[in-house]
């Protein structure tokens, strides 16, 4: 039986597209906000997103696609934000916060808000006044491209409030999606931010010709850095070897679908940051996260050599060859 709750999905990219596809298995109505009016018109006419996951065909009897953000949220019970983190502040400028009062808000952003060096949960709390108990995160390990292909995938739903996590987990469960719940809202979200930075590092090393032996050491050190930072920021019991942390890191660092790894690979091959961004024509969240993570690590006095190396390549314009050679002597 389909759930009668109305879900809003905010964003027009691959993750938003994948979430709409998944939700249509279990709910009677999905309200989908997209900024691009031409994309909305295309979906209404041809049932496909013109730019992302074009193979997905939508059931328009279940989807209300709109460019009206406030109306999309007003008529919904649950809000899922799946917009790149770099655009969130601008997206919600002038937004009427009373429209979101009392609603559960989930982040599927997987990035950091660069203007505030804040994870999406904190941005949602501060911007809308939403209590943390009404905030959740949807994280992997999962690539939108494999969801489009209906390959078996896993999602972790995290919230401090078990009830809303379990409700969202049920809404997202289907034949090809398995879900688990967690109460580690902050740890899973911080880890989801960090794994993008490490995926850039993995891509840079691959582009430079480092092999699997080195990559295994790089990622082993990366999960240690993740654990060190999230334990300082949110000191609760957690097992970073579980899929929400290590699994999400692995799939992003190694997969051909990882845009952050692809971005790093291009940097390793000699592309400039700007050229790589233009060539990809997609957002690599790790680029924006790197500088913010450096500031957070400094605030909490946590050493993060891999993040530091990526920052030096992306922002200090140090040669990837030199920086990764230095990093290799710091890893163990």
Residue 215 CB neighbour total at 10 angstroms = 16
Closest residue by Cα to residue 244 from 114, 111, 154: 154
Q: What is the dihedral of CA 116, 229, 144, 250, to 10 degrees?
A: 150
Q: Which residues pair with 8 in a beta bridge?
A: 31, 79
- Name the active-site residue from 195, 256, 299, 317: 195
Token pair recorded at residue 82 = 């799946």
What is the rounded distance in angstroms from the CA atom of residue 284 to the CA atom of residue 258?
9
Task: Measure the CA–CA gap between 119 and 319, rounded to whole angstroms.
Answer: 29
Contact 293, 214 (CB under 8 A): no
Q: Is 241 a catalytic residue?
A: no
Q: How many CB atoms lie within 10 A of CB 59?
A: 12
Q: How far apart are CA 53 and CA 179, in angstroms?
A: 22
Cross-sheet strand order for the sheet of 3-10: 63-66, 27-33, 3-10, 78-81, 104-107, 135-139, 153-159, 177-182
- Collapse the DSSP code of 30 into the 3-class scheme (helix H, G, I; strand E, B; otherwise coil) and give the result: strand
Phi and psi, residue 24, nearest 5°? -65, -15
C-alpha radius of gyration, the chain, whole number:
19
**Helix (H) or strand (E) segment spanning residue 9:** strand 3-10
Q: Mapping DSSP to helix (H, G, I), strand (E, B) and coil, where does residue 140 land?
A: coil
Catalytic residues: 195
């Amino acid at each position: 039986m389909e759930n009668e709750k109305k879900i809003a999905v905010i964003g027009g990219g691959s993750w938003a597209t994948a979430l709409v596809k998944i939700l249509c298995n279990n709910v009677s109505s999905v309200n989908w906000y997209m900024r691009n009016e031409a994309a909305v018109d295309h979906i209404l006419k041809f049932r496909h997103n013109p730019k992302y996951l074009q193979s997905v065909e939508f059931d328009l009897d279940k989807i209300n696609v709109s460019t009206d953000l406030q109306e999309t949220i007003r008529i919904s019970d649950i809000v899922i934000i799946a917009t790149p983190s770099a655009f969130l502040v601008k997206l919600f400028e002038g937004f009427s916060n009373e429209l979101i009062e009392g609603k559960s808000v989930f982040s599927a952003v997987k990035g950091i808000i660069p203007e505030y060096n804040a994870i999406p949960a904190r941005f949602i709390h501060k911007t809308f006044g939403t209590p943390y108990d009404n905030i959740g995160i949807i994280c992997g390990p999962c690539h939108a491209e494999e969801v489009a292909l209906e390959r078996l995938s896993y999602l972790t739903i995290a919230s401090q409030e078990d009830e809303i996590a379990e409700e969202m987990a049920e809404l997202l469960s289907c034949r090809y999606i398995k879900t688990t719940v967690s109460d580690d809202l902050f740890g899973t979200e911080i880890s989801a931010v960090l794994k993008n930075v490490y995926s850039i590092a993995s891509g840079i090393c691959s582009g430079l010709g480092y092999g699997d032996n080195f990559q295994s050491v790089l990622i082993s050190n990366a999960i240690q850095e993740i654990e060190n930072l999230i334990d300082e920021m949110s000191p609760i019991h957690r097992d970073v070897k579980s899929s929400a942390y290590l699994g999400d890191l692995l799939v992003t660092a190694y997969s051909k679908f990882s845009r952050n790894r692809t971005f790093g690979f291009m940097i390793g091959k000699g592309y400039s940051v700007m050229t790589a961004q233009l060539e990809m024509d997609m957002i690599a969240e790790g680029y924006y996260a790197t500088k913010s993570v450096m500031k957070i690590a400094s605030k909490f006095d946590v050493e993060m050599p891999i993040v530091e190396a990526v920052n030096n390549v992306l922002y200090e314009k140090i040669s990837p060859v030199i920086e990764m050679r230095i990093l290799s002597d710091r890893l163990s």
